[in-house]
A = this chain, B = another copy of it.
């Protein structure tokens, strides 16, 4: 198998939760892109675990080490490889899971797929830890886009039934708990704390916006912006749904309600509404690109669950030990940004081939 993404660029993610390192190679980045490593570290830190009461206690510096592709802080045109060495890799906790798969995890499907050769330690290649190299690549893409006036930012739109309120702006994504409404944010934190105290977990929704996009990114049919973004976003563990613009709500509208009329503002062609989420025919129309991703609750919970012993085919009680995020959504916010930025940067580079030069 391959864990790769991209049409013009190509991101390859490698590593297992407890192998020597996790990492990524990003190919086809033009020479001459500037990288701000401090900015990248700040971005990575937004995803890092162990920061507070609602995330796992596993502590890792998560500092990417660049092995290739940069000369100083500038891309030199060759493949960029960066790794994060795995230092906190005690494999003791996992051997018991070889024959008793955790519900909601890939233990069972991986065991069958790879014929028992899968790496079970820490979830192996299926671990949420693999979103760290995704954030290296996406963090770079965010910088490369920012240099061209394109901004990508996200928020927690909902935790369980608690929904954020207000208009998402770029600065929200930098908040320690990225909601527009702090009041709603506090409600969300309470919900997470409650789930944690009950040995349970909760899910939620992340909303992401990209602004400053030129008209014309993305392609018809299979390589539209929706297809490209969906493919990368479902690469984040626990995502079970995605919608663009009005999304599932568009199915409830009439055409005259849903169509975004073209108008002119400050000499620029725009649409009056943005039900399309900035995408027409798969291609950016210059309006903000908007999408939301649904996250299921963390499958690792403290409550006793039913599973099956693969050797005996008997149902057994399963108790998962160790500490896990009672809600993955807050840490997922930068990961969603990273994934979206990658998709957009890829489409941006690809659009250079649209017309004869």
Chain A positions within 8 Å of B, measured between CB atoms, are: 1-5, 8, 10, 12-16, 19-23, 25, 27-28, 30-33, 65-71, 74-81, 83, 101, 103-106, 108-110, 112-115, 117-119, 124-126, 130, 158, 160-161, 195, 198, 200-205, 215-216, 219-224, 226-228, 230-232, 234-235, 237, 239-248, 250-264, 267, 269, 271-272, 275-277, 280-285, 294-301, 303, 305-308, 310, 313-315, 349, 351-357
Ordered by A's residue number, 12 sampled pairs between the chains whose C-beta atoms are within 8 Å are A3-B221, A77-B113, A77-B355, A104-B255, A130-B220, A222-B231, A227-B230, A227-B231, A231-B231, A234-B282, A247-B294, A248-B294
Q: Is the interface of A mostly helix, strand, loop or mixed?
A: mixed
* A76 to B284 CA separation, bound complex (whole angstroms): 19
Q: Name the B residues within 8 Å of A250 (CB-CB).
A: 203, 240-241, 294-297
* A251 to B292 CA separation, bound complex (whole angstroms): 12
* A357 to B32 CA separation, bound complex (whole angstroms): 9
| Count of this chain's copies in the oligomeric assembly | 4
Q: Name the B residues within 8 Å of A15 (CB-CB).
A: 67-68, 78, 81
Are A264 and B124 in contact (CB-based, < 8 A)? no
Q: Name the B residues within 8 Å of A204 (CB-CB).
A: 251
Q: Name the B residues within 8 Å of A67 (CB-CB).
A: 14-15, 19-21, 23, 83
* A297 to B313 CA separation, bound complex (whole angstroms): 48
Are A252 and B114 in contact (CB-based, < 8 A)? no
* A273 to B240 CA separation, bound complex (whole angstroms): 16
* A295 to B251 CA separation, bound complex (whole angstroms): 6
Are A315 and B255 in contact (CB-based, < 8 A)? no
Q: Among the listed B12, B20, B119, B295, which residue makes an inter-chain contact with A66, where contact means beta carbons less than 8 Å apart?
A: B20
Q: Beyond A14-B25, A104-B258, A264-B313: 19 further Cβ-contacts under 8 Å?
A: A3-B27, A3-B79, A8-B353, A16-B68, A30-B356, A33-B356, A75-B117, A76-B125, A77-B355, A78-B119, A103-B260, A106-B282, A201-B254, A201-B256, A241-B243, A248-B248, A255-B301, A269-B310, A349-B353
